[in-house]
Structure 1
């Protein structure tokens, strides 16, 4: 396949060139169909290094609560729903004025499950608790409890939701997602869905227990585009849900420091098994105390991944020099109010200082953490520019660098020998204003603007 007369992105600029693709790879010559792209721009496909494809599909289908500003507004929205089980996500204390009121939710005579924006806290009414046979007086469930809830509520068409999420990423020029979709599904069900994926995927499987990881023997290349070579565990929760694990008590608490979901010994055990199975360990850690546990565990296990790392004690960095940092620049701006309200003034470490990490040579990649935040790369890159990153660096951290963290070094650039994953734009995409009109993965057009 030959693409004529296009402006091709290379190292921060566009160069007029022809592109040749054979067997899904960029080559120096080709035969076959010729496509004239005069006046068009070609960018490498974006690589989101941490997101949830199924979660994005769910966000599109569930109630979006991000703009609900009062308990009464929430109640009026909920009573209008005709679904047998009401699932909503996106509330936060700032917008809603607190947690959803369980007494109010109990007035609704059907199960209601409302998940906080961060995905680490949910409020259930009495009908929902009766349905899943899990009970809390205040209806508030956190962290691992949500895994059980998802499993017991698994009555959705996961394949359809996955396709919706996949479509959402493609329309923004994302061709590769390091996804995390096992929550609430069986491995057999997820595997069936992944085999049909059009988008390129590095799947991180979530294991709560070490023995489950020990028994699992299906890591590898599932299809030409799907690599099941990652393991996801949690060292803590979220700052918004007040479950991130901090070295100092929360500013609005006397002694509470959050939740340590995995200590250094447990993380090191996971790392040892992952090393033996030749897969990458990806650890969610937001609070500085959680990052410390990760640092102690990974100092002898290089090339694993630390996801989020929003608060860091600089003393721990020396142990993380061979670790990949998967970060979200937009959180530095989304969380400003949380930082001032939740973080003690006695904390002197790094606060969302991803630019410092990058400048000091740490291996940084960008991601959205969608559906927590918008799944649009432009949103992330704009935040990175506000933070002080150069545009060329931001694009690299969202393309080749993100792919390289998986060990795949032939994805994320438009160069001979690289996978032909790219997007075509009518206008200059470096202005961060427009989405593509067509997207190719492995040389195949899999999405086109309607």
Structure 2
């Protein structure tokens, strides 16, 4: 048995997921019949939410969806949402822009986090929700979890009033940052922007999908350069979501242009699932940090219906990044979960015994990139069965 420290999850949505703790979890559901059975028992007198749906395994017919109580169903990627007629009546009244554009995937990509904020707002936020989520995360082996998108002033006020720096950090949108008071800016880690979509919605900016897909780039080069220059003026950290190699290429190209004048900014590239070796070396030379999710190794299985075999094999190339491009876990390569799912249980299994050999991390690399540097709040007991390619885990909290 090996003891490792608890996890520091650099990429999560802690406050949103905390508010959504009461949502129905579809993460392990693999058929429409099973999902319908779970959702049919929900209350009819309010809007309900389900999370973790993989449309790669099943979809919902409109007929079956409309038989359910009022329901919003969130794709596990958080880049695709569906709702039934009864829920639509509420959405039409409270968030008409989403209702009007619910079938417009480009609009969804540009407003993904606003939609998630609206959905989380159905359950609200309070101290009890925060404390519950901290305890839940600890049970999953996580003692620190970031929230990569917060625009709710109620949450900023909570953080400004209560020192939670050992438990979380929050990022906000480029549009919201200049609206924050100086007091709120002190508890805001930085600004996050999106350069492309996601595998779950077939909108990540890769060159080829099995099903055609709808690869999406948020900005033109000139738009992205203008936005980067604006954010550099804020003198805060920056995180850029870029999954597909085409989005990564654009981000590197535009950053190289802008960083000539501001080379000392802290910049993280989020996900970078299909980064090439050439791009990785350029990112290293630009002194960028990569923030990646070992649990996304499983996209090579979960999204094999839309990703070609070549892309399944290219997904999360940790060995290339470490062995060839020179990235060092814990220094310029940090790890998190995006909450899909949160915790050590899926991520360590996917790291040590991934679907693709090039995705493998050693236990030391995992610890360096993902864990805290102490055992103050507890530890994780790890048993590795190499013969059966299995990891047994026990979380021990103090």
Fold in common (TM above 0.5):
yes
1:53 maps to what in 2? Answer: 14
- Structure 2: where are the runs of 5+ without partners? 354-358, 385-391
Q: Is the 8 A contact 2:202 2:215 kept in 1?
A: yes
Structure-2 separation of matches of 1:257 and 1:140: 11
Q: 1:342 aligns with which of 306, 315, 321?
A: 306
1:325 maps to what in 2? Answer: 290
Q: Is the 8 A contact 1:245 1:259 kept in 2?
A: yes
2:211 maps to what in 1? Answer: 252
Q: 1:424 aligns with which of 361, 378, 385?
A: 378
Confirm or deny that 1:393 pairs with 2:365: yes
1:190 maps to what in 2? Answer: 155
Q: CA deviation at 1:152?
A: 4.8
1:19 maps to what in 2? Answer: none
Structure-1 separation of matches of 2:178 and 2:378: 43
Q: CA deviation at 1:87?
A: 0.6
Q: CA deviation at 1:89?
A: 1.0
Q: Is the 8 A contact 1:52 1:179 kept in 2?
A: yes
1:441 maps to what in 2? Answer: none
Q: 2:182 aligns with which of 213, 218, 224?
A: 218
CA offsets 1:140-197 (integer angstroms, 9 cap, x no match): 8633444454455523232243332222222344333232242xx52x2111333446
- 1:149/1:204 Cα in 2 relative to 1: closer, same or farther (>3 Å)? closer
Equivalences, count: 361
Q: Is the 8 A contact 1:249 1:257 kept in 2?
A: no
Most deviating of 84-93 and 196-205: 196-205
Q: CA deviation at 1:72?
A: 3.5
- 1:232/1:137 Cα in 2 relative to 1: closer, same or farther (>3 Å)? closer
Q: 1:377 aligns with which of 318, 329, 344?
A: 344
2:76 maps to what in 1? Answer: 117
SS in 2 for 1:243: coil
Q: Is the 8 A contact 2:16 2:116 kept in 1?
A: no
Q: CA deviation at 1:53?
A: 1.0
- 1:213/1:60 Cα in 2 relative to 1: closer, same or farther (>3 Å)? closer
Q: CA deviation at 1:277?
A: 2.5
2:334 maps to what in 1? Answer: 365
Q: CA deviation at 1:63?
A: 0.7
Confirm or deny that 1:313 pairs with 2:276: yes
Could you say which structure has the larger radius of gyration?
1
Q: Is the 8 A contact 1:324 1:364 kept in 2?
A: yes
2:86 maps to what in 1? Answer: 127
- 1:366/1:125 Cα in 2 relative to 1: closer, same or farther (>3 Å)? same
- 1:342/1:79 Cα in 2 relative to 1: closer, same or farther (>3 Å)? closer
Q: Is the 8 A contact 1:53 1:179 kept in 2?
A: yes
- 1:366/1:347 Cα in 2 relative to 1: closer, same or farther (>3 Å)? closer
Structure-1 separation of matches of 2:168 and 2:32: 39
- 1:312/1:348 Cα in 2 relative to 1: closer, same or farther (>3 Å)? farther
Structure-2 separation of matches of 1:376 and 1:291: 27
- 1:306/1:150 Cα in 2 relative to 1: closer, same or farther (>3 Å)? closer
**Higher-helix-fraction structure:** 2
1:291 maps to what in 2? Answer: 248
Q: CA deviation at 1:215?
A: 4.3
2:147 maps to what in 1? Answer: 179
- 1:334/1:158 Cα in 2 relative to 1: closer, same or farther (>3 Å)? same
**Higher-strand-fraction structure:** 1
1:261 maps to what in 2? Answer: 218
TM-score (norm 2): 0.79
2:188 maps to what in 1? Answer: 228
Q: 1:205 aligns with which of 159, 172, 175?
A: 172
Q: Is the 8 A contact 2:16 2:117 kept in 1?
A: no
SS in 2 for 1:325: strand
- 1:44/1:332 Cα in 2 relative to 1: closer, same or farther (>3 Å)? closer
2:122 maps to what in 1? Answer: 155
